[in-house]
Structure 1
Amino acid sequence: MKKIGFSGTLDPITNGHMWVINEARSLADEVVVFLSENPAKKPKFTAEERKSIIALSCAEQGWDNVSVVIVRGDYTARAAKKQGVHCLIRGIRTTADFDYENLIQQTNVDVLQGAKTVFVMPPRDLGSVSSSFVKALEGPIGWNWIMKKFVPGPAYHAWVLSWLRREWETLWDYEHRDATAIAHADDWFARLTGETAYGGAARHYHNLDHLVHGLCEIRVWAANTRPDAADVDIIKQAFWFHDAEYGHNRDAGAPTNEEASAQLWLGSHLGQEMSDAAELIRATDHFQEASITHRLKDILLCVDLAILGQDDEVYHNYARAIRQEYLHLPDDEYRRQRSGALAHLSRKAEAGQLFRDAYFADQYNERAIANMQREIAGL
């Protein structure tokens, strides 16, 4: 077969969709993804954004025989046939899928005189993966870690950026800001999520995942404890910037990562009162935290360390990412330094001093001890 088509809204494209596309590649020389632009579905991403995400996802796999076409104002099966594609491929996960797809197949051929359809059945581990399923994951603590398992990298990156964008716009009240203030905030969002900060390729842990996780922790803590809204904003401001400047080999006499991040925040001129969040950023220096006082320090430190108390899979991914960030250290040296750091944190947790806020201690202290001790044993 020369060409075969795959159609859908693909908002976002999932690993299930990617499996079907790969099956299509085994059946034809060329695969054309027909992307529906259906405003009634109110997609998260525009058609052009989805086209780019699909193309990047296929390129990441080295699939150079896949193209993407946006279908506007036509039935996909009819549009496909017009472009010389006489067969479409669809994945069938359940009997309900079959009943629905069979009806669409009959309509495509008998009513629209469009392309025929062949059906394939995905493996069991992808049987429940759909765009709707992935969308439903968003929100609770850890949603990003879970979503990452079900979508290709470019789709995940686009989704996380979209989520962070909403958080950023809410923090800076875009709805009531003028165009100049919004443009200024936009520039800083691009800077913080870009290559020079959390979006950097060398950021294996202190990256966009870390940013999403921490902001979720802040949101859930605030929902459960009802603190002053102004304090919540200060914590969020500090968290956005606290690891913006991050490096292992700073020159002698250079400011610490925390001080450099605080200075970056002060130079952003995003808020009216900048010093409060700057001092809070400085308090995330775990080597000097005892000498820095701030009424919100315990909360931000708890948010920063909450990753230690996550479930086994998330903690394993975190530990692996930390090793990647310290690849410049030989194995023996890394084991020595990492074991020492974990032993120190574990002792603090056992003494009830790691999570100094009761809410976080109740949530994470016991599991954090178990996680750290297990990692030490494995080093």
Structure 2
Amino acid sequence: MAILIDPPLWPAHGTLFSHLVSDASLDELRSFALEQGLPERAFDRDHYDVPQNHYETLVAAGALPVSATELVRRLVCSGLRVPARERPERLDAVLLARWDRLLPGEPQLGRELLARWSEPHRAYHDRAHLLAILSALDTLTGSNEQNPAHRALYLAAWYHDAVYNGVPSDERDSAALAAAQLPGAGLEHAEVGEVVRLVELTIEHSPDSGDTAGQLLCDADLEVLGREAGAYRRYVLSVRREYAHVPDPVFAAGRASILRKLLESESLYSSPLARSLWENQARTNLAAEVERLERPEPA
């Protein structure tokens, strides 16, 4: 693990700025920044912006000076790089536009749901996760939320983690929220019931073989498992931050048990397209994570 800093090349506020990153852990980065007295407002999702007059001090404290190109390369390889499309200033506009296409005339409901997905305690189950599921559904359906046949499916994606407190009742509470809100948005009883049913399927991710909509939603929710290794690593770190209150040994044992059960399944995905796109990479990612979790601590 290393703390990296690039040269002060980036102009802003009458000075030049460097970027301070970790190539392994955001916790490591934040601990180093705290020790050096950097303000929390200088943190921007995957790095700290530090003014030129701090550069030499940070290098003397242990930050490794590298070129801007090398810093970005190692940040990307670490899986900690937050793509531009996942930054809040992009996400809000994109998601609200998608909501408006899905349920025109209900902007307040869309903003309320987006506020839920933006709660500060969320590290993985956040707006980026919501957009990822919507995008995965686009891939799997060959369509988008403007297709009337898929409206319940996309609404279920918006609601499936609308309530998230890290407890077993989250999915059922999310389904109950959909049942309470959607009739007021003009949906018929049958369509509301389908949204509720789909949201509740994400509890176990075990749709029936003939349940096409259920398969699509569950596969989209698990798309993250099949991402390339760096992006998968960022997902793992985000999940760990959501369970920061759980001691490392307890978390590692529980997480490894869950992943081993997934690996024992005949297939992680239900639909043929999802299997062809993500299955092999997902199994590689899960096996590598289990190995890391079960690796003995160095003496």
TM-score for both structures, normalised by structure 2 = 0.69
Q: Which has the higher contact order (CA 8 A, sep 6+)?
A: 2
Deviations 1:183-218 (A, max 9, x none): xx2222222111xx2101110111111001011111
Report whether the alignment pairs 1:235 with 2:153. Answer: yes
Query: 1:58 deviation in Å?
Result: 6.9
Q: In 2 relative to 1, CA 26–227 (structure 1 residues): closer, same or farther, beyond 3 Å?
A: closer
Counterpart residue number, 2:27: none
Correspondence list, 1:136-215, <5 A: 148-149=82-83, 156-172=87-103, 174=104, 182=105, 185-194=106-115, 197-215=116-134
Counterpart residue number, 1:107: none
Q: Distance in 1 between matches of 2:94 and 2:151?
A: 17
In the alignment, residue 159 of structure 1 is paired with which amino acid? R
Please report the RMSD computed on the Cα atoms of aligned residues, expressed in angstroms: 3.7
Q: Contact 1:263/1:278 (CA < 8 Å) preserved in 2?
A: yes
Q: Distance in 1 between matches of 2:159 and 2:170?
A: 11
Q: Contact 1:283/1:294 (CA < 8 Å) preserved in 2?
A: no
Deviations 1:215-257 (A, max 9, x none): 1111122227x9993342221100000011122346xxxxx21
Instruction: Report runs of 4+ in structure 1 exceeding 3 Å deviation.
Output: 57-64, 226-231, 289-295
Q: Distance in 2 between matches of 1:192 and 1:331?
A: 32
Q: Identify unmatched segments of 5+ residues in structure 1.
A: 1-14, 28-56, 65-122, 129-144, 175-181, 251-255
Q: Helix, strand or coil for the counterpart of 1:364?
A: helix
Report whether the alignment pairs 1:21 with 2:12. Answer: yes
Q: Contact 1:206/1:243 (CA < 8 Å) preserved in 2?
A: yes
Q: Distance in 2 between matches of 1:341 and 1:361?
A: 20
Alignment length (residue pairs): 238
Q: Contact 2:80/2:230 (CA < 8 Å) preserved in 1?
A: no
Query: 1:147 deviation in Å?
Result: 8.3
Q: Helix, strand or coil for the counterpart of 2:254?
A: helix
In the alignment, residue 169 of structure 1 is paired with which amino acid? D
Correspondence list, 1:103-142, <5 A: 124-125=68-69
Q: Helix, strand or coil for the counterpart of 2:197?
A: helix
Aligned-pair identity (%): 19
Query: 1:62 deviation in Å?
Result: 7.9
Q: Identify unmatched segments of 5+ residues in structure 2.
A: 1-5, 18-40, 52-66, 73-78, 294-299
Query: 1:158 deviation in Å?
Result: 1.3
Query: 1:294 deviation in Å?
Result: 4.5
Q: Distance in 1 between matches of 2:177 and 2:287?
A: 36
